[in-house]
Amino acid sequence: MIPRYSRPEMVKIWSAETKFKIWFEIEAHACDAMANLGLIPEENAAAVWNAKDVKFDVARINEIEAKTKHDVIAFLTHLAEHIGSEEARFVHQGMTSSDVLDTCLNIQLVQASDLLIKDIEQLLAALKRRALEHKMDVRIGRSHGIHAEPTTMGLTFARFYAEMDRNLKRMHVAKDEISTGALSGAVGTFANLDPAVEKYVCEKLGLTPEPISTQVIPRDRHAAFFATLGIIASSIENIATEIRHMQRTEVLEAEEFFSEGQKGSSAMPHKRNPVLTENLTGLARLIRMAVVPALENVTLWHERDISHSSVERNIAPDTTVNLDFALNRLANVIDNLVIYPDNMLKNMNKFKGLVMSQRVLLALTQAGASREDAYKLVQRNAMKVWEDNKDFQDELLSDKDVRHFLSEEDIREKFDLAYHTKSVDTIFKRVFGK
């Protein structure tokens, strides 16, 4: 990913230096395991660890690969340059390239998962704080973009919290599913490699041995992983889109923090645009872009081909780096989001009580009117608000057919905002547990 959308800790996971360090650890632990089994001399296994503090020369490895046309062989050649060709004689014995590549990829994905889990936890903390802060701040709920009934800003944050909490659980599952390693040799039969070697290496690296690998770790695991990242990206966009709508000039119930000296437009000095959440919408598209290729990677020829390899070399770093950046950006947006309770009430009252129509409808049916007649009575008064800017409560009070069923006190009581917030505590207890 370009530096603009990257954070150093995640980028480091995907650096060539990190990759070669993991490759070394896989090979060194495998040598230890083989020595323990009496398959290779202990002194050769010990000699491999002489390179444990080596900073592998990426340029040199690339130079070798340019000739060998094979990345793992290039690395092994460079390793032998450090520890000696005789000492390196048993390195990679019985192994195939995928044993190193696939196990390394999963280690990197596990490390990336740990960062993403922390990111989600940070976002959850921000959402919870803002939900509690605005728990009872009433705003209009909208369906189809049209005023519906009152809700609260706290409930808006709470529903995003619940969604992201589900994503946290999904991320833990995705991490567990990708936490496997395979050192099973050509076509995965262990013909030239004892299964105990795989078990030993996986234990050392914090992985679980893949139950059956066909020279490669099954790619349904990776498909599930990237699908999870895609879902999280969609949740990010869901939150970002709500903020973008709230920041529209004619709504302005909330807006991204606008810092001192910030510029909104090169042409129009008055502009304060939702640039961060628009950016998050774009990043979500990039993250989801990885999902279909990951699904298509599940299908490989026979025991192995490498049609998946070029895909994963791109989507693994790019998608995790993007998501890491997006989660952190969104947490910052939520932490600093400016809320306008007065504007929320102003918008609520824009159509002079119209949003209380359902309460009146229910009251009429409870008072004896048929549902069809009640709907007609309420709608004919509601249309006067839409079309003639009338006050809904006044129209109901002056409608003799409505008054046949409802007293003045009955009608006025239906416009009490507290009616719509009476279950907020119950919902918050469901979401936050208290």
In this structure, are strands 146-152 and 138-143 parallel, antiparallel, or unpaired? antiparallel
Which of the 8 DSSP states describes residue 187? Answer: G
Angle at 174 between CA 172 and CA 176, to 5 degrees: 70
Q: Among this protein's residues, is 134 annotated catalytic?
A: no
Which is nearest to 140 in space by CA: 338, 344, 424? 344
R_g over Cα of the chain: 30
Q: Among this protein's residues, is 92 annotated catalytic?
A: no
Task: Determine which one of 143, 144, 259, 266 is catalytic.
Answer: 144
d(CA 102, CA 19): 11
Query: Residue with structure tokens 């094979």?
Result: 70
Which is nearest to 112 in space by CA: 385, 376, 327? 327
Which is nearest to 402 in space by CA: 376, 425, 423? 376
Which is nearest to 98 in space by CA: 118, 117, 71? 71
Tokens of 173: 């599952």
- Bridge partners, 180 (sequence order): 208
CA torsion sign, 125 to 126 to 131 to 132?
Answer: positive
CA torsion sign, 278 to 283 to 285 to 286?
Answer: positive
- Bridge partners, 208 (sequence order): 180
Tokens of 102: 């696939």
Q: What DSSP string describes 222-273? A: HHHHHHHHHHHHHHHHHHHHHHHHHTSTTT-SEE----TT--S-SS-TT---
Task: Determine which one of 265, 307, 398, 407 is catalytic.
Answer: 265
How far, CA to CA in Å, does 187 sit from each of 21, 212, 310? 25, 10, 20
Tokens of 215: 């020279």
Instruction: Please state whether 302 falls in left (phi above 0), alpha (psi between -120 and 50) or beta.
Output: left
Cβ-defined contacts of 36-42 (< 8 Å, 24+):
36/200, 37/194, 37/196, 37/197, 39/93, 39/194, 40/90, 40/93, 41/90
The 10 Å Cβ neighbour count of residue 113 is: 22
Exposure b/e, 225-260, CB count within 10 A at least 16 = b: bbbbbbbbbbbbbebbbbbbebbeeebbbbbbeeee
Active site residues: 144, 265
